[in-house]
Structure formats: structure tokens, C-alpha cells
A and B are shown apart, each in its own frame.
Chain A
Amino acid sequence: MSVDQAVFAFAGSIGSVGAVIAAAHRDPRASGTALAVTLLSLAVLYAGLAAPALAAVALALAVFVTLPLIVHLTVAAPRVHIEGGPSVAGAGLLIGAALLAILLSAVAMGEVPMNVSVRSSDGYDVSALRDGVTGRGLVATGTSVVALAAAAMVAIGVGRDRRTPR
């Protein structure tokens, strides 16, 4: 049995069992955990299909979207209530618009390489992707990181100020 076959057998069996548990278990916490495990095993299967970009997206979504949603739905929330203050949705829109403007300006200035090949038959242009993050796209990447860090710090500060007992 080759390494590819072993990885497929392991990830496929984990994914199948996890899917059955996620669909059949009555406890929503166990069911959600099984769903997250299934999605992670699917990321491994995508990597076996020569789709590393899809595997990375699936992995990031399982870790940063599915798991927080499971925790949000299954873990009891603290008894705090947010009243008044600026709209969080409006702040999110502003942050998203700022990041989109940064990305568009970076594309217009030629900072982001648009000719990166992701066709598997051509081989992945890893050096171009690396340049996109560390070389030519360093301005866009650094500015986005600074903007996200500032937004996170402001959100944490606003959240501390606005928590009042119900």
C-alpha cells in the first residue's frame, strides 16, 4: 500500500465515520465536533486530489468558521447584554470596505501578481505565491495585517466597555 492509498484510507474512513456520527448523534456538541472532524478529513482528501488551494480553504473554514459556529451554538453564552453604542455591523462593513480598497489599490498598482498559475498540470507556481505575500504584495499584506490588528484591538476594547449585566 502506497502512502497516497494509506492517507486516502485513513482520511476517508475518518470522514465517513464522522459524517455518520454528525448525522445520527443526538448531542449537538458531539454532532458538531464530528462535522468539524469530517471537514478536516475532507481537507486531507483535497490535498490528495492535487488541490492544495482547496485544501487550505477547507482547513481554514473548518478551523475559523465551523468550529466557532459550533461553539456559538452549543456552549451557553455568558449572561451579559450589549446595549447602545455604535453598530457592530457598520464597523464590520467599514473594515471590509477598507480591506477591499487596499486590495483594489494593490491590484491597480501592480503589487499583486495576477498571472499565478494554479493549474495542476502546469505545476504550482509556488515562488509567485511566495512573492505575492512577501515580495511584491508586501505593502498590501502588511497594511491588511495592521488594519486587522487595529480593528481587533478596537473591537476588544469596545466589547469590554459595553458589557453590562442583564
Chain B
Amino acid sequence: MTTTAYLSIAAVLFTAGALGTLLRSSAAGRLIGVELMLAAATLTFAAAGAGFRELDGQVAALIVVAAGVAHAIVGSALIASLREPR
């Protein structure tokens, strides 16, 4: 498949994530929206790396994945602490 096809999928993911982040009112919904945007960035890096036949794209994608995991854990901890009755 061409790089453009993968970038199109990434564009769909990023658009859905951006709309979810902007339009959802719940914190969990916004967290999921940001996760979708990070997944789109990861796919873009991987597709670009494959398109240019360089390993740099995969390395950048791994960094984005690590940032996404940290973001998901911190975000879910914040949501859980907000939900906890005082």
C-alpha cells in the first residue's frame, strides 16, 4: 500500500480525536480523544519512515507511544482521583 493510504487513515484518526477532545464534556472522553490523536501521530511517523525507507520514523513513533502511555496513566489517575468521594 502507498504511504498516502496510511496517512489518510492517520488523518481520519486525528480528526476523530480532535473532534472528540473538543466536543466531549467528560474527562474520560477527552482523554480518549487525545489518545486517538497520539495514535494518529504514531501512524504518521511510521508511515513516513516506511515511505522514506529510514528507521527514524519508527524511533519517533516509539517515543510518541511512550508519551501516550505516560499520558494515559497520568490522565486515568487524575480522573480516578476526581471521582473518588471525599
B28 CB to nearest chain A CB (Å): 5
Given the known interface contacts A42-B43, A51-B50, the answer about A73 and B9 at a Cβ–Cβ threshold of 8 Å is: no
Chain B contacts for A57, CB-based, 8 A: 62, 65
Task: Say which one of A99-107, A113-121, A128-136, A149-157 lies at the interface with B.
Answer: A113-121
Given A35-B36, A73-B76, decide whether A49 and B20 contact each other with a Cβ distance below 8 A: no
A22 within 8 Å of B by Cβ? yes
B68 to nearest A CB, angstroms? 8
Chain B's interface: helix, strand, loop or mixed, by majority? helix
Task: Give A4 to B5 CA distance when docked, in angstroms.
Answer: 12
Q: Could you give, for residues 45-74 of chain B, a 1 whenever the CB lies within 8 Å of some chain A CB and a 0 otherwise?
A: 011011001010010011001001100110
Contact yes or no, B76 A72, CB < 8 A: yes
Q: Contact check, A51 vs B46: say whether CB atoms are below 8 A apart.
A: yes
* Total contacting residues, chain A, CB less than 8 A: 39
Nearest CB of B to A6, in Å:
10
Q: Is the CB of B6 within 8 A of A45?
A: yes
Q: What residues of A have a CB within 8 angstroms of the CB of B50 in the complex?
A: 49-51, 120
Question: CA–CA, A4 to B2, complex, Å?
Answer: 11
A158 within 8 A of partner (CB): no
* With A15-B13, A51-B49 already in contact, 16 other A-B pairs whose C-beta atoms are closer than 8 Å: A5-B1, A8-B1, A8-B5, A16-B16, A23-B16, A23-B29, A28-B28, A32-B28, A38-B36, A46-B43, A49-B6, A49-B46, A49-B47, A51-B50, A51-B61, A74-B28
Tell me the A residues contacting B by CB distance below 8 Å. 4-5, 8, 12, 15-16, 19-20, 22-24, 28, 31-32, 35, 38-39, 42, 45-46, 48-51, 53-54, 57-58, 61, 65-66, 69, 72-74, 118-121
10 pairs of A and B residues whose beta carbons are closest in the complex: A23-B20, A19-B16, A23-B16, A49-B50, A69-B76, A8-B1, A16-B12, A28-B28, A19-B13, A12-B9
Interfacial residues, chain B to chain A (CB-CB below 8 A): 1, 5-6, 9, 12-13, 16-17, 19-20, 24, 26, 28-29, 32-33, 35-36, 39, 42-43, 46-47, 49-50, 53, 55, 58, 61-62, 65, 68-69, 72-73, 76, 79-80
